[in-house]
Amino acid sequence: MKNLKAIALALVVVLSTATVSAQTKKVDVKASAVNWNAKKVTGEHSGTVNLKDGTLLFKGTKLVGGTFTVDMTSLTATDLTGEYLGKLNGHLKSEDFFGTEKFPTAILVFKKIGMTSKDMYAVTADLTIKGITKPVSFNMAVKGNTASTKFMVERTQYDIKYGSGSIFDNLGDKAIADEFELTVVLKF
């Protein structure tokens, strides 16, 4: 009976230690930034989109997980003003692009994380845009209370085909690149 109590106590200590070492850190959505850049034949546009919420999971100092919800209704260009800004924002939020009325959020969930060097991780995640989930891969640097990454998203995989030269013929200088870039800085 004494041995059983000792084993039970040892299990409680081990499980408590494992639980303590796994720590969820909430992302400060106001201090974090998600910037986008999209190119077309005749130029490019850039802007921002806000995080709705997000968490990073650590075991000790090692990144082991993460999940994020993006507020797609906050999507805005930062390279235009006035009437042109309103037109571009309206078009990006329309069914031609992100359909934010029907799909107000996008979600990113880390699925696989490997450490490549001190403070650098190779991440494979599931990205859901317009209700379509596809894998994306990127490197993420984590230092102190900041995590950052830059990666490309292939928009046609998410049924965002408007102006795609790989789908439509004869677009000429109206063609829009199939990939857009996201630059993300997370504060936690």
Give the CB-side neighbour count of residue 4, counting CA atoms within 13 A: 1
Separate counts of helices (H) and strands (E) for the chain: 2, 9
DSSP bridge pairs for 71:
50, 105
- Rounded Cα distance between 124 and 147, Å, is 15
pLDDT tens column, 73-127? 999 999 999 999 999 999 999 999 999 999 999 999 999 999 999 999 999 999 9
Q: Which residues of the chain have pLDDT under 50?
A: 3-19
Task: Identify the pLDDT of residue 14.
Answer: 46
- Choose among 58, 183, 50, 181: nearest CA to 110: 58
Look at the pTM and tell me if it is higher than 0.75. Answer: yes
